[in-house]
Amino acid sequence: MPLVGVIELGLHVKQVYGVVPEGDWLAARDVVKGVAKPDDLVVFAPSWTDPLGRRYFGKDIATVEREARPDDTRFPRAIEVSIRGEHDAELAGWHEAAKQKVGAITITTLENPHPVQLLDDLLSHATASRMTVAHVEGGRALECIWMHGPVKTGNLGFGPAIPGDRAECAGGGFAGVTVVAVLDYRARRCIYAPPPGGGAATRLTFHDVAMGRALHGHHGLYAEAERNKTGTPVKIAFSIDGESLGKLTHEDGDGWTEFELDTTPWAGKKADVVAEISSSNGNRRMYCFEADTR
């Protein structure tokens, strides 16, 4: 058994480090740094090379916005950094514009055939000056207080990081931007807003949002909180000026789910978008969502 363990460790080291020399990664980084525009996506393929990409390319290229993106629709181009002839399956329909070899690494520039123009992003509104949060229960709304401090780990190291900048609610619950490992364990940057449970809800009001014809987004839970499919559903209701845009329910096992709501009556205007989150039982409901207007 010890011999098998040593062999397995050796094969793992060969797979991760022996395939591509460090010099190739550094040279590829310099190429991508010169090619990638701020609104380009940068991806690493196969997916298990992503930690290596983050290590060698650094946070200036492997940014949180790229690594924990909600989806690929908002990027007009993608720079794919790949080895072994592998490709990112989510970019299968994109058009190849350029390709370059750097040692064992292939750098491919891909163009999005259907790029989406974002008008606004609710994550950019999740600040003390642009988002109001309230604990709603029994017909009363108690405004939550914005806290500013260090990021906290989940309870006993379990769950997503609790953001340092967040609206803390005296009646239970909070809201703030973090990164969550969703059901497929991919990182997603979103607004972490666990429902308080019972008959209460957390109400988020995003002020002066530039509106288009659709409110497009995703929602999900931390992987370990929903993979056993034993939790109660989480509901989120969106509205503008007291008029409902739609109500969504997230069931355990749904994973990172996409949604889109019609906002045509408010297109070209600015409006306060309200999201109200609730669940009959708030235990382990590590719920997170994101949305943009387009």
Task: Give the 3-state secondary structure of residue 113.
Answer: coil
- pLDDT grade, residue 7 (50/70/90)? confident
- Tell me the residue range of the domain where 166 lies: 120-293
What is the tens place of the pLDDT at every residue in 111-167?
Answer: 999 999 999 999 999 999 999 999 999 989 999 999 999 998 866 667 899 999 999
C-alpha 291/C-alpha 236 separation (Å) is: 12
pLDDT of 4 > 80? The answer is: no
Check whether residue 282 and residue 246 sit in a common domain.
Answer: yes
Please check whether residues 91 and 62 belong to one and the same domain. yes
Last residue in a domain, options 76, 111, 146: 111
pLDDT of 23 over the 60 cut = yes
Residues 128, 232, single domain; the answer is yes
pLDDT of residue 162: 92
What pLDDT sits at residue 1? 82
Q: How confident is the model over 62-104, as pLDDT tens digits? A: 999 999 999 999 999 999 999 999 999 999 999 999 999 999 9
Total domains in the chain come to 2
Tokens of 31: 């190429």
Within 10 angstroms of residue 11's Cβ, the number of other Cβ atoms is 11
Residues 105 and 188 reside in one and the same domain: no
Q: pLDDT digit string (tens) for 182-216?
A: 999 999 999 999 999 998 999 999 999 999 999 99
Question: How far is residue 52's CA from residue 54's CA, in Å, rounded to a whole number?
Answer: 5
- 79, 94, 111: which is the final residue of a domain? 111
Instruction: Judge whether residue 294 has pLDDT over 80.
Output: yes
What is the distance between the alpha carbons of residues 182 and 180, in angstroms, rounded to a whole number?
6
